[in-house]
Amino acid sequence: DYSPTEGHHPDSTMSMERVQGYSGNKTRNNLHYLDDNGECMLYTVGKILVQFDAKEDIQNFYSEASGNLTSLAVNEAQSICAISHSNFIIVVDLRSMTTLSILRDHDAEIISLDFDDAGKFLVSVADDGCHDRIIVHDWKSGNVIA
C-alpha cells in the first residue's frame, strides 16, 4: 500500500484491467461481433483495441498503437484484425493480441479497411481531402499488390 508519509513509492508496474466506454467519433466500422451470439465483440476506444467476451466478462487489449484508431477490419476466420492509425495499418493476432505486421504505404489518413475472404489480402482506402487512394496489400509480406 502506498503511503506518502512513510516514504514508500507505489509499484512502478501497471496493467490495464478494464476499459469503460466506446468511442465512435471520427472512426469507421470500428465495432465487430466475433460470434453469432453477440457475446464476443471487438471495438476501438481511442488508441486501444478491446476484445470483450460479455459471457465471461473478460476484456483483452491491444495497446501498441501510438494514436487514435480510425478504422477496423476482421478477417472471415476472426483470427486477425487490421486497425489503422493516421496513415498506417497494424495487423493484430486476436488470440495473442500481438502485432503481426505494420503497413506504411499510404500518405494520407486511412478511412476504410477490409480483408478478402481468404484473409490473405487487405484492401485500404486513404483520403487526402482531394482524392481517395486504394491499395491492396499482401499483409504478411508487406508487399503492395495493386
**pLDDT (tens digit, 9 = 90+) per residue, 3-27?**
566 666 666 777 788 888 877 777 8
pLDDT, tens digit, 9 for 90 and up, residues 109-129: 999 999 999 999 999 999 888
Beta bridge partners of 93: 80, 98
Rounded Cα gap, residues 41 and 36, in angstroms:
10
Q: What is the mean pLDDT of the chain?
A: 90
Span of 13-27, 45-59, 73-87 with lowest mean pLDDT: 13-27
> What's residue 80's pLDDT?
97
Contacts 24+ apart (CB under 8 A), 20-23: 21/45, 23/68
Q: How far, in Å, CA of 68 to CA of 110, rounded?
A: 12
Q: Kindly indicate the confidence band of residue 95, based on its pLDDT and cuts at 50, 70 and 90.
A: very high
Q: Are 84 and 113 in contact (CB under 8 A)?
A: yes
Q: Average pLDDT, stretch 44-54? A: 94
CA distance 62 to 99: 9
Q: How far apart are CA 29 and CA 131, in angstroms?
A: 20
The pLDDT of residue 51 is above 90: yes
What does the radius of gyration of the chain's CA atoms come to, in whole angstroms? 18
Q: Between the CA of residue 116 and those of 32, 50, 83, what are the distances in Å? A: 16, 23, 15
Give me the residues paired with residue 85 across strands.
88
Residue 42 has pLDDT above 70, yes or no: yes
C-alpha to C-alpha distance for 6 and 135, rounded to whole angstroms: 59
Reply yes or no on whether the pLDDT at 28 is more than 90: no
